[in-house]
Amino acid sequence: MCGRFAVTLPDDAMARLFAARPANDLPPVPNYNVCPTMPVHAVSLGEGGRHLGAMRWGFVPHWYDTPDDGPLLINARAETIAEKPAFRSACRNRRCLIPAAGFYEWSRGADGTKLPWFVRAADGAPLVFAGVWQVWERGDQRIASCAIVTTESSPDVAHIHHRMPVIVAPEHWGFWLGEEGRGAARLMHPAPEGAVTAHRVSRAVNSNRAQGPELIEPLEDGE
């Protein structure tokens, strides 16, 4: 799964990276501890091409009476996304790209302690997650929300957790967004071995209130 991540790239750099038109209400960056229900940066297709906008992380199905009317859907499993009622329409018609510096995952120590890791691209580039999105409306309330698509972990992450986000390579961004025809389903697979690397980080990130660049720094030997 993916339950926390970090975003460090400035808004203008993100807009250039994706050749997208940025919105005026983008979330503050950097954010070293992005948590569910927070607004996140997401690239989607709209009138005039690619848009970089803010979406609530936590997909809100159209049948929810309120945004919190059911389970918090932060992830969508690649294996079942096309059949699940919450996601199947979005999987066909409303896919997005969610940029990150990396994501956190937790293993368990011998005593059951949660041990956090930070997973990033091996080449230092931003990670770009596959996402799905939709707009939920009730009366004058309107929320654009998204979920991150997950798949089985690559060998680089499997020793920490059995699930990870689907990472979309730059040459496939157009396919995922639907600009270049069909083929998005073929992208929902683990990252190639060696594409990402993971290191242990401070347990400070176990708190969803923690912030600061030290959250993604490798632990010193002996910590």
Q: Give residues with Cβ within 8 angstroms of 67, minimum separation 6.
A: 56, 58, 60, 136, 143, 145
User: What is d(CA 102, CA 124) in angstroms, rounded to the nearest whole number?
Assistant: 9
User: What is d(CA 13, CA 209) in angstroms, rounded to the nearest whole number?
Assistant: 26
**Total Cβ atoms within 10 A of residue 96:** 29
Q: Is 35 labeled as catalytic in the residue annotation?
A: no
Structure tokens at 126: 């931003």
Q: Answer whether 129's CB lies under 8 Å from 149's CB.
A: yes
Catalytic residue among 35, 47, 96, 105: 105
- Amino acid at position 6, single letter: A
Residue 126 DSSP symbol: P
* Count of residues making up the chain: 223
Q: Is 91 labeled as catalytic in the residue annotation?
A: no
User: What is d(CA 39, CA 36) in angstroms, rounded to the nearest whole number?
Assistant: 8
Residue 38 DSSP symbol: S
* Three-class SS state of 141: strand
Residue 167 DSSP symbol: B
Structure tokens at 151: 């798949």
Q: Answer whether 126's CB lies under 8 Å from 138's CB.
A: no
Catalytic residue among 2, 91, 96, 146: 2
Query: Residues with catalytic annotation?
Result: 2, 105
